[in-house]
């Protein structure tokens, strides 16, 4: 069983937590939520099951931590590319960059949109909040587009909800594809075509 070497107790705890999450990612991807177990995560990480309980209450909390550690920083990188663009162009870019992100890190999309859906309801609802940076920006762009008369819709928050659901459905579609990279252009084009015709029409 591998031992984690660290210069301090704090560093040791951080390294142990990272090892648990790295192992959990592999176990959840290989076995799904129901098929994953703390024993398997312990075996892969080299950390005793009893020690894992010092860091996490359950396998659900471990999966939530895996997603929380990895997804939000990637979403922030998507939003960092959007600066002073008209609403439609900003929304187009959010969709394009988000779909490209699914292609770039398909295992993380798999964890959140497939494996994560089996989480207990409370943890699953918490997981969806990790998408807030993107959904909040979609809502903001919809409000700006409606307020300026750029979008034909009269209810910007309803529109924002529709767009957020569209983006989730695009991710769902890609996670079910054998080759997400090959499918991404078609998935992207179908969503952008709706955006062009549906928002300003």
Same domain, 52 and 74: no
Q: Are residues 86 and 152 in the same domain?
A: yes
**Residue 6: predicted pLDDT:** 57
Contact partners, residue 111, CB within 8 Å, separation at least 6: 25, 28, 29, 63, 66, 67
Same domain? For 180 and 108 the reply is yes
Q: Residue 30, class by beta-carbon neighbours within 10 Å (0-12 exposed, 13-18 middle, 19+ buried)?
A: exposed
**Structural domain includes residue 61:** no
Please check whether residues 122 and 184 belong to one and the same domain.
yes
Residues 166 and 113 in one domain: yes
Q: Is residue 64 part of a domain?
A: no
For residues 5-24, average pLDDT: 85
**Nearest CA-CA partner of 192 in 106, 104, 56, 95:** 95
Q: How many domains does the chain have?
A: 2
Same domain, 31 and 116: no
Residue 33 buriedness (CB in 10 A; 0-12 / 13-18 / 19+): middle
Q: What is the pLDDT of residue 4?
A: 55
Both 41 and 102 in one domain: the answer is no
Please say whether the beta carbons of 52 and 38 come within 8 A: yes
User: Whose CA is closest to 3, among 45, 39, 41?
Assistant: 45
21 and 79, same domain (yes or no)? no
* CATH number (domain holding residue 95): 1.10.357.10
User: What predicted TM-score, i.e. pTM, was given to this entire model?
Assistant: 0.87
Q: Which of 38, 164, 28, 177 is nearest to 108 (CA)?
A: 28
Q: Are residues 14 and 84 in the same domain?
A: no
The secondary structure element, H or E, covering residue 128 is: helix 121-128
Q: Under a CB-based contact definition with an 8 Å cutoff, are residues 174 and 183 in contact?
A: yes
Tell me the pLDDT tens digit for each residue of 30-77.
999 999 999 999 999 999 999 999 999 999 999 999 999 999 999 998
- 123-176: per-residue pLDDT in tens? 999 999 999 999 999 999 999 999 988 888 788 999 999 999 999 999 999 999
What tokens does 148 get? Answer: 């300026």
Domain extent for 22: 1-56
CA distances to 34, 99, 132 from 146, rounded to whole Å, are 44, 25, 21
89 and 183 inside one domain: yes
CATH of the domain at 40: 1.10.10.60
Looking at the structure, tell me whether residues 35 and 81 fall in a common domain. no
pLDDT bucket at 1, cuts 50 / 70 / 90: very low
Residue 65, in any domain of the structure: no
Q: Which of 19, 34, 56 is the last residue of a domain?
A: 56
């Amino acid at each position: 069983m591998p031992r984690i070497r660290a210069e301090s107790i704090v560093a040791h705890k951080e390294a142990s937590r990272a090892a648990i999450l790295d192992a959990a990612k592999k176990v959840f991807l290989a076995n799904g939520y129901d098929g994953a177990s703390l024993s398997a995560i312990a075996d892969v990480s080299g950390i005793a099951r009893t020690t894992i309980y010092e860091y996490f209450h359950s396998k659900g909390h471990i999966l939530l931590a895996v997603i929380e550690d990895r997804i939000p920083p990637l979403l922030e990188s998507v939003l960092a590319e959007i600066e002073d663009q008209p609403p439609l162009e900003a929304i187009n870019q959010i969709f394009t960059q988000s779909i490209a992100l699914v292609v770039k890190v398909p295992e993380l999309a798999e964890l959140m949109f497939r494996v994560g859906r089996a989480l207990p309801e409370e943890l699953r609802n918490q997981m969806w909040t990790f998408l807030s940076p993107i959904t909040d920006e979609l809502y903001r762009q919809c409000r700006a587009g409606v307020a300026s008369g750029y979008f034909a819709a009269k209810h910007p928050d309803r529109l924002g909800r529709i767009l957020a659901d569209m983006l989730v459905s695009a991710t769902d579609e890609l996670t079910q594809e054998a080759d997400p990279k090959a499918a991404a252009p078609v998935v992207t084009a179908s969503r952008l075509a709706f955006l062009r015709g549906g928002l300003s029409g």
